């Protein structure tokens, strides 16, 4: 599933789309539009003024209150093609043609994602948690949200209302970096562990962005190319392989309903 680093990478792929105008936008399936405050045709002739990421969402602002928001769900891809290239991929649900000879393709086999045509972005994101790479996500904030909580620390950092953008891959990797077992009750972390976890979350996300995200199965960047961070994963998807740090076998257990990978020896 695309998480923060993957959506950030896609966003950065689209820098040349800024100020390009939409010629037309076509939907092959209208049920991928999860909400529409305005008709898609209202975007025709409008330039993409700002493109930004919030959590695992990508926002295209076409001026004023015209926003097209995309979430890639489990298997979605969003990428640019030249306008004379033919679209051969299956499950293409939206094509937006721009006046810079590019077209933007939204493709999603499993359709857990979607498109929102939204006027009030602030309202749309009102319940979304803090951005983990921003300065206001710090040990103090992490300490505040975990205090007295009995749920596993992994479930807590996956809660999008508290921290936005972390999914299963980066939760497992950050907990390994911090030396904390994913099933530890959140409230049991010491101040030092909170500080280490906060740093690990930021480091793992930033390193993955440098490597253009993790391609485990479906994820592709905004040019439909695979990422590179799968080569740096230390626990995720590595169960029954040797821990890179101590050589013991990596475990996999279901914690909070999610398959979780960790080293019993390095994580306490
Ligand atoms: Zn280990």
For the segment 150-161, what is each residue's pLDDT rounded down to a tens digit?
999 999 999 999
| Closest residue by Cα to residue 79 from 55, 58, 49, 50 | 58
**Residues identified as active-site:** 2-3, 56, 258
Return the minimum-mean-pLDDT range out of 55-59, 86-90, 96-100, 234-238.
Answer: 86-90
- Span from the CA of 222 to the centroid of ligand 1 (angstroms): 35
- Give the pLDDT mean for 102-112: 93
Q: Across the strands, what pairs with 130?
A: 163
CA–centroid distance, 138 to ligand 1, in Å, is: 26
Q: Rounded CA gap, 10 and 79, in Å?
A: 8
172 CB neighbour count, 10 Å cutoff: 27
- Tokens 């199965």, residue? 217
* Cα separation, 26 vs 212, whole angstroms: 28
Residue 234 in contact with residue 178, Cβ under 8 Å? no
pTM of the entire predicted model = 0.96
Residue 246 CA to ligand 1 center (angstroms) comes to 4
User: 255: CA distance to ligand 1 center in Å?
Assistant: 19
Looking at residues 31-53, what average pLDDT do you find? 98
Write down the pLDDT at residue 226: 95
**Virtual CA dihedral for 43, 89, 15, 25, nearest 10 degrees?**
-10
Position 38 scores a pLDDT of: 98
Q: Which band of pLDDT confidence, cut at 50, 70 and 90, is reported for residue 87?
A: confident
| Residues within 5 A (CB) of ion ligand 1 | 243, 245-246, 263, 265-266
Residue 51: both structure tokens together: 């493109």
pLDDT band at 217 (very low <50, low <70, confident <90, very high): confident
């Amino acid at each position: 599933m695309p998480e923060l680093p993957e959506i950030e990478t896609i966003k950065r792929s689209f820098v040349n789309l800024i100020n390009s105008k939409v010629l037309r936008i076509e939907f092959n399936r209208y049920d991928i539009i999860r909400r529409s405050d305005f008709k898609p045709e209202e975007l025709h002739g409008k330039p993409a003024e700002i493109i930004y990421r919030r959590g695992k969402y990508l926002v295209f602002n076409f001026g004023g209150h015209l926003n097209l928001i995309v979430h890639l769900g489990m298997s979605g891809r969003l990428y640019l093609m030249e306008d004379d290239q033919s679209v051969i991929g299956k499950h293409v649900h939206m094509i937006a043609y721009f006046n810079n000879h590019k077209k933007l393709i939204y493709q999603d086999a499993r359709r857990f994602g979607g498109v929102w045509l939204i006027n009030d972005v602030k309202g749309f994101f009102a319940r979304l948690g803090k951005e983990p790479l921003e300065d206001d996500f710090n040990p103090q904030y992490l300490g505040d949200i975990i205090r007295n909580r009995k749920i596993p620390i992994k479930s807590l950092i996956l809660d999008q209302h508290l921290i936005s953008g972390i999914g299963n891959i980066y939760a497992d990797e950050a907990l390994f970096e911090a030396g904390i077992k994913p099933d530890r009750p959140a409230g049991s972390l010491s101040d030092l562990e909170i500080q280490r976890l906060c740093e690990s979350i930021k480091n793992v996300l930033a390193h993955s962005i440098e490597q253009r995200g993790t391609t485990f199965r479906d994820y592709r960047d905004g040019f439909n190319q695979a990422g590179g961070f799968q080569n740096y994963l230390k626990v995720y998807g590595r169960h029954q392989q040797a821990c890179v740090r101590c050589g013991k076998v990596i475990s996999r257990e279901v914690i909070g309903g999610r398959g979780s990978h960790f080293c019993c020896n390095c994580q306490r």
